[in-house]
Every structure is written in structure tokens, then in C-alpha cells.
Chain A
Amino acid sequence: MRDLAVETSGLVKIFGKNRAVDGLDLAVPAGTVYGVLGPNGAGKTTAVKMLATLLRPDGGEARVFGHDVLREPDAVRSRVSLTGQYASVDEEMTGMENLVLLGRLLGHRRAAARDRAMRLLEAFGLTEAAGRQVKTYSGGMRRRLDIAASILNTPDLLFLDEPTTGLDPRSRNQVWDIVRIVVAHGTTVLLTTQYLDEADRLAGRIAVIDHGKVIAEGTPGELKSSVGSGSVHVRLRDAARRPEAERVLARELNTPVQLEADPVALTTRISGQDADAGAERASRALAALAASGIVVDDFSLGQPSLDEVFLALTGAPPGERGPARTDHPATGRNAQEEAA
């Protein structure tokens, strides 16, 4: 299989008693955006760090463009770039200096490194900030500089580890646009994220991981239909009618109905091949409620959230099975970062 950018089988990383990555199997096709979706502590960052040769696997195999990460680390390094969860740029240096430094380290001569740095700063809208120390940059600017640094030599595979966590919506959209442009020019992108929405918008395929294992894999469409195309939230005018409403919804949608803490609220999930079919069935259910004379005050049909994906795939919300985990406890600095 020559056209796989990443291939892992049974990949394992253990920190003390914690199996952070526990038998991970991934196959990332080249030339696409591949999403790795999971909650904090699922092992996403640890997996990416092993693929980028930053951590040594404790078991299993991982190959990047056919090169084993343990046996041929330099061959892997020459083809990948990593934009970590926490900006991989030097805060005390200016944007320009950061890029020139990397350019030099990647083998460019002084003049070529400066030229490349200036063109990248321009392409990323950072020309005005080129001479300022990075610590004065906004979160979005920092992230752009970080990505610019990652494509200084255009990599064949770009790891983006939670690229939009902590960014405002505008900066997040900018990052999304950048990812689309980068992948359109032939770079494979492996993106980790906690947001189904983000994986849905960018990725051609998604692996959902939890406790270091892949629990579901497929296109966004396949994934969502396996989960149900959305959740239906209903609020009744009269709490007394709720048991009746529960029966009607369960009959019409053929799914278990959950009674919320709010005495007038009910929630259920619709399974179906696509969102349109889901919406159609939801409106039929609504009509059935009306036909039974139950007054509905509020009704909404939502995309499944990551929590709902997890609920559907594992039978429990993320983090409720076993102790809370952090992605990379070995460095001893994660507790506050994970909490942040």
C-alpha cells in the first residue's frame, strides 16, 4: 500500500500505569485531511507525537510514507511537520527571526531563508508584525505563524494537533481555510480535534478514538449515520403530558427517549442515513405529537455533538469510564494545560 501517508498497527504508549495509546490502528490515505477525533486524554497528542518521532512507541508499529518511525526517524522527519497544541514558536524572538531560524535549520542559505520567511509572512498576513516579538501576537496570529513555520519546507504530511483549540471563531475559520489550501496543494493533513464539527468540515475520513483505541472510523457521513443524524429536543407546555409524549416519540422514531431534568423536556436521537431523512422523520414525529393534542413549546433538531457520538459509540459519555487521563503525563505539565 504505497498510497498511505500513515499506517499504524497495534501502536502502544504507556506512561506509568496509564496506557495512553492502547493498540491504535490507523490508515491515513495520502493527499487527504484525516481527522482524529476524541476527548481530552484520548491519546491523540501521544499518538501524533509518536508519528512525528517525538515519542518512542512501547509496542506496535507505525510507518509514515512507508518509513518506520523507530528505524528510520530521519526519513520520517524530512517529510513531516508538526504544529503542536501549544505554539511551537519562540516567544522571545520576532516572527521573522523564527522563520529565518527554521529556514536555516532546514538547509536554506541565509538569503534564501530570509526571502522564504518574508514570502510566508506575507501569505499569512503577518508582514506588519514581522519585526515584533511573538509574545505580542494574538492567539490567531501565533497559530498562523506556527503553521507558516510548519510549511516552510512544504511537508508531505502535516500534523495539526488541535489547531483551533482556544481560538476565537474568526481565527478558527482562518485556520480552516489554510488547511483547505494546504491540502489542495498536495500535502496530507492529519488533524486532531475535540470538535466533531471541525472534523466534519475538514476531514475526508475520521477516526474516533477513546482511551487510546479507535472506536469508529469512516467518512463523516458514515460516522454520523452510525450515531444518528441528530438529536431532537422537545419542550412541552404541560409537564403532565410528558409520559404520553414519550410514548408517541418512541413509537414514531423508534428510538429510546430520554427524560430531562427539566420536567417538560425530552430528548431523543434519530438514526438515519442522512440529515434530510432525519429532519423528515423529526417533522413526522412533531406532527404526531400535535395530532395527539400535546402542545409543543419548543422544538430543535441538532447535529450530534461529540458527547452524543461518544454516548452512541461507547454507551457512556467521554471520561466516565475509568480515571481521567491526560494526553502526555510524562512531561509533568499537563494537568493545568488540559484544564485550561
Chain B
Amino acid sequence: MSTTTESTNTPGSTTTTQNGTTTENGTSFAPASETLGAVLAPGTRPPRPSALSASLTFGWRAMLKIKHVPEQLFDVTAFPIMMTLMFTYLFGGALAGSPTEYLQFLLPGIMVTSVVMITMYTGVEVNKDIEKGVFDRFRTLPIWRPSTMVGYLLGDAFRYTMAATVILVVGLVLGFRPQGGVAGVLGAIALLVAFSFAFSWIWTMFGLLLRSEKSVMGVSMLVLFPLTFLSNVYVDPQTMPGWLQAFVGVNPISHLVSAARSLMAGSPDTGEITWVLVCGAVSIAVFGALTMRLYNRK
């Protein structure tokens, strides 16, 4: 086989169809009919992958991206640590007498806030990818159409889990003592990651809809700030004016926080948990459908 490789740039290897002059390293390659022909096999195709298999493959792609660009994990490590420390010491003394006291109340909420805020990177990532040709290739594959998007979200679920874990560790170090034990805490994290996965479809939609990364970021902030701050994360809503209490009451983040608190406290509130799960299902149904519509039309 006469394949020539990058380093073996010998005169013998440049007997190519193209005038055989000295070559720049890395281009001394002559397509050979035998080697190339051997890998061409018209008509032989494996069966198309299942929806699950295609989604997991795209999830693997997301993990490879994390491997190649580990810096991107900064926002699931440093950002949550900063959030936890900042709010614990900023409000702790004033609101609960001491930071440790406040942390018992704050930690489930700050965990929800941080993870939900991180979901916006999904939209940014989708938006960055569609600018590239690789997206066209995915869209010409005979695979289950939503698997590309599910793959992003599977990779992101890993990131959410990591952020939640980081916050939990910081909390435990600072004196957070959940009554619900290991099971309660894991249950709360699982619910949070599941909700974030469902909620992220709003970002895949915006990622496909908006023209630039910057506008995706802008819209994300516009949605996320009111959603996370106008909630029961930081203080008990009872001191808020009535109209605000009404908003906080319907804000899905408040319900998620209540559910997570109840799980971590060892007294799961089935009503809140159901609310969160229904909310997640609606989010997938609405924003998932819109995402796929945009994806097919793009």
C-alpha cells in the first residue's frame, strides 16, 4: 500500500500525480485507488441507530468537548462556589443571625439558582455550533432528529451534576447539615438535574432562533434573573408585597426550591415534587417541540 504519512517525506513518497515537487510537511499524500477503493463499499450499511443510541453518541460528543476544552468547566466550579460564599456571608448575619444558620435555609436554593443559571450555556453552545458546517452534516444523517439536541443536554446534565456536587461540598464544609441524609440530598440533586434538563429546551430553542451568541446571552439573563431572584431562594416571601408574592408563588423555581428543601430536610413534599415534574414535562413538550420545529426549518 503506497500511503504516505506526514513524517515520511522521502523522495519516494512524492511520486504522486501532482508534479512531484518538494512538498510542505503534511501534504505529501497521494490518493491511491487500491487503499481508497478498499474502504469504499457501496450498498453496505448497518441499520440506523436507535433514538437512544444516537442521543448517547451525541452525549459522548459533548463529553469529548469538555475533555478538549476543560476551561469550560470553570462555570460549573468557580461560579457556584462564588455564589454560595457570597450569599451565605452577605445575608447570613442579617437574616438568620449567623451564616451557618442561614446556610441551612439557603443551600438548597443557591444550588438551584446556580444550576439553573448554568443552563443558559446550552443555548450559547447550540448557537456556536450551528454557525459551523458540522451541524449540516448532522442534519443530513438518517437518525432520530432530536438526538442532536438531547446529546447537548446529556452533556449538560453532567455539568449540572458537577455544579450541584461542588455546591454541596462547599456547603458541607461551611456547616450545612441536611436532615434528609444521603438519600434526601441525592434525591434533591436528581430532581434538580432532571428539571434543568427539561428547562434547557428553552435554551436550545433560543440557540436556534437567535442570530448570535451575544443575543442568546442577553435573552438568557432577561429570563434567568427574575426567575431566580424573584423566588423563595433568599428570603421567606411573606414579607414581600402581594403582587410579588403572587409571582413568587407561580414561579417554577420557587417550587423547585421548596421541593429540594423538603427532600434535603428529610420530609419530601409530594405536592411540590409533582409540581416540578409536571412543569418539566410541559417545558419539554412546548420548548422541545419548538426546538425541533426550528431545527427542521433551519
Contacts of A84 in B (CB 8 A): 133, 136-137
A316 CB–B CB distance under 8 Å:
no
Map CB proximity to A onto B236-277 as digits: 1 under 8 Å, 0 otherwise: 000000000000000000000000000000000000000000
Known A53-B140, A92-B69, A127-B5: A107·B47 in contact at CB below 8 Å? yes
| Binding site secondary structure of chain B | loop
Q: B141: which A residues are within 8 A, CB to CB?
A: 77, 102, 105-106
Given contacts A127-B3, A181-B36, contact A187 B27 (CB under 8 A): no
Option from B17, B38, B68 in Cβ contact (under 8 Å) with A133 = B68
Q: Which of the listed residues B16, B48, B138, B142 has the most CB atoms from chain A within 10 Å of its own CB?
A: B142
Q: Is the CB of A181 within 8 A of B33?
A: yes
Chain B residues whose CB sits within 8 angstroms of the CB of A149 once the complex forms: 137
**Interface flag for B214 (CB, 8 Å):** no
- Does A123 lie at the interface of the complex (its beta carbon under 8 Å from any beta carbon of B)? yes
Contacts of A170 in B (CB 8 A): 18, 23-24, 27
Interface residues of B in 48-67 (CB under 8 A from A): 48-49, 53-54, 57-58, 60-61, 64-65
In the complex the two chains form, is A78's CB within 8 Å of B48's CB? yes
Q: Is A257 an interface residue (CB 8 A)?
A: no
Give B2-52 interface residues, CB cut-off 8 Å to A: 3-7, 16-18, 23-24, 26-33, 35-49
User: B133 touching A87 by the CB < 8 A rule?
Assistant: yes
Q: Is the CB of B61 within 8 A of A138?
A: no
Task: Check B49 against A105 for contact (C-beta < 8 Å).
Answer: yes
Q: Tell whether, in the assembled complex, residue A185 and residue B18 are in contact, meaning their CB atoms are under 8 Å apart.
A: no
Interface residues of B in 214-244 (CB under 8 A from A): none
In the complex, which residues of chain B have a beta carbon less than 8 angstroms from the beta carbon of A140? Answer: 27
Provide the bound-state CA to CA distance between A187 and B36, in Å: 13
Q: Which residues of A contact B26 (CB under 8 A)?
A: 129, 138, 141
Q: Chain B contacts of A62 at CB under 8 A?
A: none
Q: Is A88 an interface residue (CB 8 A)?
A: yes
Q: Does A18 contact B (CB under 8 A)?
A: no
In the complex, per-residue mask of B175-187: 1 if CB is within 8 Å of any chain A CB, else 0: 0000000000000
The complex places the Cα of A49 from the Cα of B3 at a distance, in Å, of 33
Whole-angstrom distance between the Cβ of B74 and the nearest chain A Cβ: 16
Are B61 and A90 in contact, CB atoms less than 8 angstroms apart? yes
Residues on the B chain within 8 Å of A77, using CB: 140-142
**A163–B64 CA distance with the chains assembled, in angstroms:** 28
What's the least CB distance linking B123 to chain A, in Å?
17
Contacts A123-B35, A185-B40, A332-B211 given; does A93 touch B140 at CB 8 Å:
no
Expressed in whole angstroms, the Cα–Cα distance for A128 and B4 within the complex equals 10
User: Cα distance A124–B1 when bound, in Å?
Assistant: 12
Q: Give CA–CA (A91, B38) in the complex, Å.
A: 27
The residue among B37, B39, B64, B134 with the most chain A CB atoms within 10 A of its own CB is: B134
Q: Shortest distance in angstroms between A97's beta carbon and chain B's nearest beta carbon? A: 6
> How many angstroms from the CA of A186 to the CA of B37 in the assembled complex?
10
Per the bound structure, the CA–CA distance linking A53 and B296 in Å amounts to 9
**A82, B140: Cβ atoms under 8 Å?**
yes
Of the listed stretches A36-44, A150-158, A274-282, chain B binds: A150-158
Task: Tell me if A120 counts as interface (CB < 8 A to partner B).
Answer: yes
Report A's interface with B, CB cutoff 8 A: 49, 52-54, 56, 74, 77-78, 80-82, 84-93, 97, 101-102, 104-109, 112, 116, 119-120, 122-125, 127-129, 133, 138, 140-141, 144, 149, 151, 153-154, 156, 168-171, 173-174, 177-178, 181-182, 184-187, 332-333
Other than the given A141-B26, A168-B27, 18 more pairs (CB < 8 A) read A54-B139, A77-B141, A82-B137, A87-B133, A93-B64, A105-B58, A112-B46, A119-B39, A120-B39, A122-B3, A123-B35, A123-B38, A128-B6, A153-B45, A154-B40, A173-B16, A173-B18, A177-B17
- Some 25 contacts from A to B, beta carbons below 8 A apart, are A49-B136, A52-B136, A77-B142, A78-B142, A81-B140, A88-B134, A89-B137, A92-B68, A93-B64, A97-B64, A101-B57, A101-B60, A105-B138, A119-B39, A124-B36, A125-B3, A128-B5, A138-B26, A174-B30, A177-B17, A181-B33, A181-B36, A182-B36, A186-B40, A333-B131
Interface residues of B (CB under 8 A from A): 1, 3-7, 16-18, 23-24, 26-33, 35-49, 53-54, 57-58, 60-61, 64-65, 68-69, 131-134, 136-143, 211, 297
Question: Which 5 pairs between the two chains have the least Cβ-Cβ distance?
Answer: A125-B29, A107-B46, A88-B137, A173-B18, A128-B6
